[in-house]
Structure formats: structure tokens, C-alpha cells
Chains A and B, each alone.
Chain A
Amino acid sequence: MELFLTVCVTSLVLGLLYALFATGLSLVLRASGGLNLAHGDSLMLATYVAVGTLHVSGLRPLAILTDVVMAAAIGVVVYLAVYGPVAGHRRAGATSLGFLPALGLALIIRNVAVLINPRGSEPVPALFPGGRVNLFGDYQLPAAGWWVLGAGIVVPLLLAVFLRRGVTGRRVRAVADEPTLARLAGIPVVRTLAATYAVAGAIGGLAGALFASFFGQVSISLGWQATLTGFVAAILGGVGWVRGAVLGGLMLGTAQSFVSGYLSTRFRDVVTFGLLIAVLLLAPEGVLARSRLRTV
């Protein structure tokens, strides 16, 4: 029974972390049509800087803020410097090679992270306040676990409200649906998309801080891991939909945890990508495709 409960808690925490990774990717993909392959590396770099900030200042809120703001800033910069111009020069009907600069950016950011971090991995003290809580048996969930649960629920809700009610959010939806009409209607498309990248980056930064704090470590591999799991989660739930990102994240976290707990880690990738292929074949727009509302 304790194993089952352990796997359930891990499923939830991992799933919500994946959901946060997926939300940023999904938002950008829906709004701009581009896959930000540098998303994970951006949040990884921001997390390294946040850990450095904590070491220097000793202030946990400042470290978390650094993570969020820096990841958002990287998002804006990569949009204005690369993704936006590349999309602007793309001819109608031409094959999109937008992933190439995205890959390039991811590599650059990764190399910058390697340069600023001489060890490869870095231990991370608790970034979020609170102590461990005994859940069942001897299992103690660290404070960051509760913060993951909270953020995994609150952030997607806030994002949904922002997209439905906020001026910028409505502009994001308009640009996502009909960019040309949005431009003709006077919506500042570039500024709106830059804001989209900023919001996506900020969510990623928060996810990076939560991930590092929960596991007590940040490593270079967090970048690719966040991009890959976020992308798979987004596809599973339905690209471009906040609820889809959350559902996809939970599906992925649950599948991985139960396979590791009851089968073997060796089958984890088989099941993960088997699930992905099954969804692509049976519900190409994600498992929420039929039930979702027309919302971002």
C-alpha cells in the first residue's frame, strides 16, 4: 500500500511539473505556431542564475524572482531576436525550418549554462519556505512538493483567466486565431507575441525553481528534459490548450511513475513514447480535442 501511495504522490508532483513545462511550450505554440525548443534550456539557465543569486544574497524570494524574470526575459529576447524575424521572413507554403534557429538557441543557452557552472550539476537548497510533512508511513514530502501542487493548480487557472479576461490575453487569442486580421484590427502583434513568450518563460522559470527545489539539484540535463517532457505532455493533452497541458502532464507523470514503480525504468521511455504515438494516431489534437472549448 505504501508503494502505491508513494507512486501516486510522485505521479502528481512529476505530472504537475511536466504540466508547468508544457504550459509555456503550449502557449507559445498556440499563439505563434512555433515550437520553442529553447524553452527548457532557458528555464535551466535561469535556474542556475537563481541558485547563484541565492548563494550571493541568501534571499529565497529574490532567487525565485530572478528565475521567473530571467526566464521571461530570455523568452522575449529569443522571440525578438530570432523567432519573430524568422517567422516574418517565411514565405507562404514554404517548408518551415524555424526549428533550426530554435535548436541553435537551445545549444547556445546550454553552452552558456556550462560556462557559468563549472561542475555540471549544482545542489540547490530549499527555495520555498516550509518544512517536510509526513504523508503516510515514513514518507515525508518536502515543502517544495506542496508548492508544486499549489503552483500546478493555481498557475494554469491564472493563465486561463488571463487569456479570457485580460486585454493582453484576449490579444494573444486573437493573434493565435487570425494573425492577419488581428494586425488589421490594430493589435500590436509583435508586442503581443513578445508578451506571450514572456509569460511562457515566466511560467517556465517558476517550474525550474520548483523542480530544482523539489529535487535539491539542478543540472544541465534539466533543459532538454523540460523541453522533451513538456512537449510530450502538450501533445498528449492537446497543443495550445491550458487544460490540455495540465492533463497531458498528469498523464505523462502517472505513466512514468507507475511504470517505474511496478514494471521497470527500462520500459519508461517505451511506455511514454508508446502513449504519445497512440494519442497521435487516435486523437491527433490531444485527448481533450473533442471536449474542449475554443480557448487558448
Chain B
Amino acid sequence: MKKLALVISALALAAACSSSSSDKAANGPSTSAGPKKVVIAVGGPFSGDDKAVGDEIRAGAKLAADQINAGGGITGGPLKGAQVVIDDGFDDADVPQKAVDNIRKVVDDDKYIAFVGSGLSDASVAAAPVASQAGLSYMAAYASSPKILDAATAQKSVFVIPPTFPAYSFSVADQLTKKGYKKPAIIHLTGTYGDGISDFFVESLKDSGVTPVANESFKFGDAEFTTQLGKIKDAGPDSLVMVGLPDSDALIVKQAEQLGLSVPVFDPGGITNSGTFLKDAGNLANGVVGNTPSDAQRNTPAAVALRDAYTAATKEPVVPDPAVFAYEGVQAVAAGLADGAGKRLDLSDHLHKISIADTGVGPLKFAADGSRVGGRLYIFQVQGGTPVFTVGYEQTGPKAIKEIPLER
């Protein structure tokens, strides 16, 4: 029986370390017999409370790879014709140390041409310096803190695909002040993501002469928010701004209602456009104003094609944000290779040169610091359980946005 205990311990360690890697047998840029292949490492929270985000990252990356391969592989450069292989064996469960360990594994294995993924910004902020030191192209697909770019102190091989935090915060703050709210209260997750979005939100409000009447925080995994919401209610707000994750945001709207805190709710974190939030919050999701980089009713040919392809592949009617950015991350890597990159260390230079007219959510090209040029965010309000889009914003600088019309 003692042996049994040891076996169970070993199994547990194996289970903890294991992951659902697909296509692990594939090689990286290869000149051996058979079609050439490029292997892209895909990581994120494939386990834990934020698993839904990880699953969406994987689905988006896989869709892009399938489309590229169906079109004949990489379209130019030394690796022309190579097939794209996704290796999703890099679960970080949103834990920064795991994210760092994963990137070290990717860096140490020549078969990987680039990394695409990551959920919470803390994980990307921790992993980015390792990728930067090694010159590995790191495509942050969902994490969007400017600190990710700041952390890349060596080579400029780190890219943030979504608009950065200021755009998220400023767009919803603009809506809040335009609607005439003067006494917002904030409840936000602690850490790079929650603190970052919240800080930029406060900064934007200040520019409009508005000061939050309360600013409360909570921790990852918390389920109890009534004490913070009670404090917020005590401050007499006219609106509530929440910066959390889909499950925590759902609990916040439920517990706010339980406390009788019935004020309009705003989400500047790009979270409430998720199936998890909409399902968990139920009727209480209605009225929430949020933003998302992906306008579900955008009707350009690329947008319709992306939506149709994602729905066909996953049976989901809407392309969630993590899937969109992972999709774009893989498309960007393929474009960088087509632009002439033949090996890992060349890729980031070519990524700085690429320009994709419309990936499905808009044009994609990167600034010198690795941020996206012209990243878009669309404002919506949940009505009848569905986000209804009202206006768009485009990021015009590190801390600047401009309003744009919806493409209908």
C-alpha cells in the first residue's frame, strides 16, 4: 500500500505537469523529407478558474493554422509552403511562474518558431523578458498591459495584439462621462490587469473632472464581494465600474443586486462580452456596458468569414476575444514568415514590417514598441442577454483614442 501511495503521488505530479499537447510529434522548420512544418507554441490558462479563456485561445490559434494550411501553408519566404503546426502544451493556469517555465521550454527548443497566447497580464509580464532576451517572437494574445512591452528590455520581439490598457479604460470612461455619471465607484481585481485597467480608468476620469467615490479591490479566486460592495453602496455612487474576470464579474452583479445596489454597471476590461459572464450573470447581465475588440455584427468580408469559420469549427455563434487575438497571432506569425523570415531570430524583424488589411476584426500591424497600431474597441450594452454594439474606438497612441463608426 505504501507503494500505492507513492504511485499516486507520482501520478499527481504527472497530472500536474501534463498537458493536452497536440501534434507534439511535429518538427519545427524542417527540410527533411515530407512537407516543411513550422511549430508555434500556444500557451495560456488551459486549466484552473480561467480555463475558458485558455480554451478560446487554443481554438483561435487552431482555426488560423487550419486556414493557413488549407490555403497551401506559408505563402512566401524561405519557408514557403510549410504547414503550420500548433503545439498547445503550455498550460500556465494564469500563474506567472508557470508562464516563465513554459517560455523557457520554448526558448530552449529550436523547433518552436514563436509563442502565441497567455491569459492574464501577470503571466505575460513575467514571461516577456525571457522571450525578449532570447529573441523569441512572443505574441501576447489577450493580455494587454503596457507593462508587457516595458518588460521586453532586450530585443523587440514581444508583441501585444489587443489594444493596450489605456484604450480599454479610456473608451468606457468616455462612455461613462458622456452619459453624465459623476460619481462612479470601482471594484477591481488586484494584479497587473485589474490594477492597470483601474488606474488608467481613474486617470481618464480625472481628465474629465470626475473622481470615483470608492475604489475597492478583490483577489483572484474570491467569491465574496458583499463587504466591498457594501462599502461602495455606503459611498452613494451613481454607477459601478467592475474590472474582473467573467466568473467574478457575474458574482459582483449578483451580489450588488442582493445588496440593493442598483446602479448602471460598466466593464472597461473587455470581459463581459464572454459566454461565461452572460450565462453566469443571467438577467443581471442586461444593461451592462462593456467593450470588446471584436464587433460581432461587423460585416466586412473578413469579419463574416472569420465568424463563419469559427462557428463551423466550434459551434459557438460569437468569436470570443481570446480566440480572435490568438487567431491574429498565428496569422501574424505566418505573415512574418511569408515576408521572408526563415528562422526564429529573424521573425520579429519581419513582424514589425507586416501589414494585414483586415484579419476579421480590423487591420493588423505593429508599432516599433510591439504594440498594435490602430487597435479597435467596440462599446456594447447587453440587451436581452446579447451585446448590442453602439460605437467604436481606435487607439491612436499609447494613451490616445478616437471614436470611429461601426462598420455595417
Give A contacts to B, CB under 8 Å.
Answer: 2-3, 6-7, 9-10, 14, 81-82, 84-86, 88-89, 100-101, 103-108, 111, 114, 118-121, 123, 132, 137-142, 211, 215-217, 219-222, 225, 257, 260-262, 264-266, 268-269
Q: Are A82 and B8 in contact (CB under 8 A)?
A: yes
Q: A3-B233, A107-B13, A118-B55 are in contact. Are A217 and B223 (CB under 8 A)?
A: yes
Q: Are A217 and B5 in contact (CB under 8 A)?
A: no
Residues of B within 8 A of A260 (CB): 224, 227-228
**A208: min CB distance to chain B, Å:** 12
Q: Are B1 and A85 in contact (CB under 8 A)?
A: yes
Give 21 pairs: A residue, B residue, CB < 8 Å, sorted on A.
A2-B230, A82-B8, A85-B4, A86-B2, A100-B9, A101-B9, A103-B12, A104-B8, A111-B12, A114-B51, A118-B55, A120-B45, A121-B246, A121-B247, A121-B276, A132-B258, A138-B260, A217-B223, A219-B247, A225-B221, A261-B227
Q: A2-B234, A261-B227 are in contact. Are A120 and B4 (CB under 8 A)?
A: no
Q: A215-B251, A264-B217, A265-B218 are in contact. Are A7 and B8 (CB under 8 A)?
A: no
Residues of A within 8 A of B4 (CB): 81-82, 85
Looking across the interface, which residue of chain A has its beta carbon closest to that of B53?
A120
The verdict on B317 contacting chain A, using a C-beta distance below 8 Å, is no
Q: A3-B233, A6-B227, A119-B276 are in contact. Are A221 and B12 (CB under 8 A)?
A: no
Q: A120-B247, A216-B254 are in contact. Are A101 and B11 (CB under 8 A)?
A: no
| Complex Cα gap A9–B258 (Å) | 13
Residues of B within 8 A of A118 (CB): 51, 55
Residues of A within 8 A of B221 (CB): 219, 221, 225
Looking across the interface, which residue of chain A has its beta carbon closest to that of B8?
A104
Q: Are A142 and B258 in contact (CB under 8 A)?
A: yes
* Residues in B1-25 with C-beta less than 8 Å from chain A: 1-2, 4-6, 8-13, 15-16
Q: Are A138 and B49 in contact (CB under 8 A)?
A: no
Q: Are B51 and A120 in contact (CB under 8 A)?
A: yes
The verdict on B399 contacting chain A, using a C-beta distance below 8 Å, is no
The verdict on B368 contacting chain A, using a C-beta distance below 8 Å, is no
| Complex Cα gap A258–B9 (Å) | 39
Q: Are B2 and A137 in contact (CB under 8 A)?
A: no
* Residues in B83-121 with C-beta less than 8 Å from chain A: none
* Residues in B213-227 with C-beta less than 8 Å from chain A: 216-224, 226-227
Q: A3-B233, A111-B12 are in contact. List 15 more A-B contacts (CB 8 A).
A: A81-B8, A86-B5, A106-B12, A108-B11, A111-B15, A138-B260, A140-B258, A140-B260, A142-B258, A211-B223, A221-B221, A260-B224, A262-B231, A265-B219, A269-B219
Cβ 8 A contact of B48, one of A3, A120, A138: A120
Q: Are A261 and B230 in contact (CB under 8 A)?
A: yes
Residues of B within 8 A of A111 (CB): 12, 15-16, 47
**B190: min CB distance to chain A, Å:** 7
Cβ 8 A contact of A119, one of B1, B51, B230: B51
Q: Are B250 and A123 in contact (CB under 8 A)?
A: yes
Residues of B within 8 A of A86 (CB): 1-2, 5
Residues of A within 8 A of B231 (CB): 3, 261-262
| Complex Cα gap A84–B2 (Å) | 9
Q: A86-B5, A111-B16, A215-B224 are in contact. Are A266 and B250 (CB under 8 A)?
A: no
Residues of A within 8 A of B222 (CB): 265
The verdict on B259 contacting chain A, using a C-beta distance below 8 Å, is yes
| Complex Cα gap A48–B1 (Å) | 29
Q: A86-B2, A101-B9, A261-B227 are in contact. Are A107 and B16 (CB under 8 A)?
A: yes
Q: B186-223 interface mask toward A, CB cutoff 8 Å, 1 = contact, 0 = none? A: 00001000000000000000000000000011111111
Cβ 8 A contact of A215, one of B12, B45, B223, B228: B223
| Complex Cα gap A164–B232 (Å) | 47
| Complex Cα gap A14–B260 (Å) | 20
Q: Are B5 and A101 in contact (CB under 8 A)?
A: yes
| Complex Cα gap A178–B223 (Å) | 41
Looking across the interface, which residue of chain B has its beta carbon closest to that of A218?
B223
Residues of A within 8 A of B280 (CB): 121, 123, 217
Cβ 8 A contact of A120, one of B50, B217, B227, B228: B50
Residues of B within 8 A of A142 (CB): 258
Looking across the interface, which residue of chain B has its beta carbon closest to that of A9?
B226
Residues of B within 8 A of A10 (CB): 224, 226-227, 230
| Complex Cα gap A225–B224 (Å) | 12
Q: Are A89 and B49 in contact (CB under 8 A)?
A: no
By CB atoms of chain B within 10 A, which of A81, A100, A119, A222 has the most? A119
**B252: min CB distance to chain A, Å:** 11
Q: Are A107 and B12 in contact (CB under 8 A)?
A: yes
**B74: min CB distance to chain A, Å:** 33
**B220: min CB distance to chain A, Å:** 8
Looking across the interface, which residue of chain A has its beta carbon closest to that of B11?
A108
Q: Are A139 and B258 in contact (CB under 8 A)?
A: yes
Residues of A within 8 A of B11 (CB): 104, 108
Q: Are A85 and B5 in contact (CB under 8 A)?
A: yes
Residues of A within 8 A of B228 (CB): 260-261, 265
Q: Are A120 and B49 in contact (CB under 8 A)?
A: yes
Residues of A within 8 A of B353 (CB): none
Residues of A within 8 A of B48 (CB): 114, 120, 220-221
Looking across the interface, which residue of chain A has its beta carbon closest to that of B226?
A10
The verdict on B402 contacting chain A, using a C-beta distance below 8 Å, is no
**B49: min CB distance to chain A, Å:** 5
Q: B38-55 interface mask toward A, CB cutoff 8 Å, 1 = contact, 0 = none? A: 000000010111111001
Nearest 7 pairs of A and B residues by beta carbon: A138-B260, A85-B1, A104-B12, A104-B9, A6-B230, A120-B51, A221-B221
